[in-house]
Amino acid sequence: MCTFGRISFRTPCYTFYTMRNNTDLYTTVAQLMQSGKGILAADESDATAGKRLEIAKLPNQPGNRQDFRELLFTAPGVEEYLSGVILYDSTIRETTDQGTPFADVLAARGIVPGIKVDMGVKPIPGFDGEVITKGLDGLEDRCKEYFDIGARFTKWRAVITIGDGIPTDECIELNAVRMAEYALVVQSQGMVPMVEPEVLFAGTHSLAEAEEVTTRALTVLFATLKKYHVDLKGLILKSSMVLAGDTYQDQSSCDDVASATLRTFKLSVPRDVGGIVFLSGGQTPKRATENLQAIASYGAQPWPITFSYSRAIQEPVLIAWQGKPENVTLAQKVLLYRTRMNSLAQQGKYVSGEDLKDQK
């Protein structure tokens, strides 16, 4: 933050960081964006992790959180379909029952550890229903620590809500500036920043409204990133698919979602961006896979594109596990199945009927 007299502000007075070797950033991007692989978003806060555990009818206790994450990260063969995992602060500090840090477990399997570095959202004063993301304070020091622990990429999420008169341009612009400042700090510490301007699925908005808002948000974001001299080749966009609101009367076909999403990207995402990954954002596991397949069916794009799902991967695993040691093997098979389906979809090879087969 820059201060002149009594006025404190960020935008006109940002710092240009001395970059480490950008080749390292490009190497990390290439590892994360491998064909046939995606990124597991296991970066739920401890509170949100409790909502996940409710699916398995388990209380939100540290032991249950640790057991579930160990199940995910040690599943035999999962490295065939995952290139990276996004962790939360408490998770990256956890170990297996044998005492091996989770970051080391992942790295040993060729899976790149990542870390969520934002600290949630707070309301923007005077802008009802709109929020801005927190977490710039102390970010450089936290990034240094995370790098030492083993993280090689980071994530920062902004929340964009479609509603009556929102999102405003001011909300989009404020969040874009924060993401640019975040990206500069992260790259200066030798890690790849993932920027996630999530346009929420919840709502009554149409597909056309979602497309307009997503295009506007991404256009402003990348104009701001360029203004701040962020290295786009060393950056990954985590984006919503363009979806009509979950309570809109006319739900879109997979092809409509794919064409609207790719049209949005071609209008707003520069060609030199390192890659694009999708959040599932409340879609069912099967629907998230089907929409990814529809997008891949349009062929090669200017950027590599893959998945970075959370609940759409974890929910079936939790249902199979139920917190019972005797169910771990089955739950890991379900994890492998779900990631394999998304791997096939990323390559345009998924067949919907596959999801009707027995997963045993």
For the stretch 309-327, pLDDT in tens is 999 999 999 999 999 999 9
**Average pLDDT value over all residues in the chain:** 92
Q: Chain centroid to CA 38: how far? A: 11
Check pLDDT > 90 for residue 30.
yes
CATH topology of domain 21-348: TIM Barrel (3.20.20)
| Cα–Cα distance for residue pair 235/159, rounded to 1 Å | 19
> How buried is 45 (Cβ within 10 angstroms: 0-12 exposed, 13-18 middle, 19+ buried)?
middle
Residue 40 is predicted with a pLDDT of 98
Distances (CA, A) of 127 to 8, 118, 161, 179, 198: 20, 21, 12, 19, 18
**pLDDT tens column, 299-308:** 999 999 999 9
Instruction: Please state the domain extents for the chain.
Output: 21-348
Name the pLDDT band for 115 (thresholds 50, 70, 90): very high
pLDDT: which is higher, 199 or 353 = 199
Residues forming the active site: 196, 238
Residue 17 is predicted with a pLDDT of 44
